[in-house]
A = this chain, B = another copy of it.
Amino acid sequence: MKIAKTIAELKESRRQLQGSVGFVPTMGFLHEGHLSLVRQARAENASVIASIFVNPTQFGPNDDFSAYPRDTERDLALLKKESTDIVFMPEPPEMYPPNARSWVVVDGLTDGLEGGSRPGHFRGVTTIVTKLFNIVEPTRSYFGQKDVQQALVIQKMAQDLNMNLEVIICPTVRETDGLAMSSRNVYLVPEERQAALVLFQSLNLAQQLYSNGERSAERIRREMITLIEHEPRAEIDYVSIADTATLKELDKIGEKALVSLAVKVGKPRLLDNIVLGELI
């Protein structure tokens, strides 16, 4: 496994690969969710490149950039075990020279949900992902459904700007009790870890109501909120039932709907989602 710390090193190693390349961009502190992406990339491509880069431009002033968990040694060992060919791990000045001033933005899709709660977040995401795509030149790139808005925004960006790769969204990986895997779960103290299950429980409730024929988004949303509010350690940021293409809130659920939520449990703000009706 090669480790590239500069763009030039990455390009040099990339040049030596033949055939298709699967790319998994990460912010490190890897868990089974990331590794499932690496495995799918491994299965579908001749080579696999992963990146580890905690991207400063997607964190707001009140976000946890400097506190974001890091464990590079463990990450590299995990990636090696999955037969990753190249790991790209640049430092911030390599990706953002002092006078950098170009941005990629996706309108509309980024207004609500995470974009509503974290202004500027998606501009940072789409810009770093564009840069990484141009540097790595992958055939396919893999993103987890856990960060569903991010995945859909990147898919839209790649399509709108005619980027030469396929953006693939992979299923959320969960702990055995249902909690969606996230690097931020490490912040949860034991009682919060238990309380955090309320996200998955509320999604299950939505699924159940939908399966029983409920099609009013408002009624499902209200029942989810009631359930979450019974958990004193949970503080709702949003509970959304939205169109899967436009991410606009729905009144009535048609063929399918994206149910997503952000809930603060102790320090971390946790995300989860499911798609009602069919797989996304």
Interface residues of A in 202-251 (CB under 8 A from B): none
- Contact yes or no, B161 A102, CB < 8 A: yes
A162, CB-defined interface residue at 8 Å: yes
A169, CB-defined interface residue at 8 Å: no
- Contact yes or no, B102 A156, CB < 8 A: yes
Closest-CB distance, A260 to chain B (whole angstroms): 20
Closest-CB distance, A14 to chain B (whole angstroms): 11
Of B101, B109, B157, B161, the residue contacting A156 (CB under 8 A) is B101
Of B105, B127, B134, B162, the residue contacting A131 (CB under 8 A) is B162
Of B127, B135, B163, the residue contacting A134 (CB under 8 A) is B163
Given A134-B164, A161-B134, A164-B134: A105 touches B102 (CB 8 Å cut-off):
yes
- Contact yes or no, A162 B109, CB < 8 A: no
A280, CB-defined interface residue at 8 Å: no
Q: Once bound together, how far apart are the Cα atoms of A102 and B109, in whole Å?
A: 10
Residues of B within 8 A of A102 (CB): 104-107, 126, 156-157, 160-161
Residues of B within 8 A of A103 (CB): 104-107
Task: Return the CB mask of A142-159 against B: 1 if under 8 Å, else 0.
Answer: 000000000000001100
A7, CB-defined interface residue at 8 Å: yes
